């Protein structure tokens, strides 16, 4: 599966569109990590456990989007975007969306 966030896949041509596909996830860390982050919050700096959380959430959202694209028969997703929102303290929602397409390499 090829992902891009531009209107095309460079070096390939689009032969079919399958409409929008999306994937979302809401994730939280356990209370121990929340407590640790709360302490770190006082001192300032990067909150590593929350960065991890965001990374996991992003991977999960992309995976769900890819699954959906495979189901409709696409082999690439173009114009991928992210939307994030904070639902409650210590939890992150990541929503990924894009257009599923079929691409093939340009000959010559």
Partner 1 sequence: MGDLLLILLILIITYFTGSILEKNHFKKIKAREIALVKKPVVSFGKKLTTNKKIKKVEFVTGEVVISGDYFKNFVSAFRNFFGGRMVSFESLMDRARREALLRMREKAKTADIIVNARLESTMLNICEDNSNNLIPQVAVIAYGTAVTYER
Check residue 42 for interaction with partner 1 (CB under 8 A): yes
Distances (CA, A) of 108 to 7, 38, 82: 22, 58, 35
Check residue 32 for interaction with partner 1 (CB under 8 A): no
Q: What is the total count of residues that contact partner 1 (CB under 8 A)?
A: 39
- Which strands sit side by side in the sheet containing 91-105, from one edge to the other? 2-3, 76-85, 91-105, 12-28
Check residue 26 for interaction with partner 1 (CB under 8 A): no
Which residue in 30, 32, 44, 107 binds partner 1 (CB under 8 A)? 44
Q: Quick one: DSSP state of residue 10?
A: T
First to last CA, the chain: 23
Check residue 88 for interaction with partner 1 (CB under 8 A): yes
Binding site for partner 1 (CB under 8 A): 2-11, 37, 40-47, 50-51, 53-55, 58, 79-86, 88-92, 94
């Amino acid at each position: 599966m090829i992902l891009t966030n531009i209107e095309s896949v460079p070096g390939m041509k689009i032969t079919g569109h399958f409409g929008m596909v999306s994937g979302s996830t809401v994730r939280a860390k356990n209370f121990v990590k929340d407590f640790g982050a709360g302490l770190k919050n006082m001192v300032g700096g990067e909150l590593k456990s929350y960065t991890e959380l965001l990374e996991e959430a992003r991977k999960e959202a992309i995976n769900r989007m890819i699954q959906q694209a495979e189901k409709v028969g696409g082999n690439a997703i173009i114009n991928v975007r992210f939307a994030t929102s904070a639902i409650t303290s210590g939890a992150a929602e990541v929503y990924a969306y894009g257009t599923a397409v079929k691409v093939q390499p340009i000959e010559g």
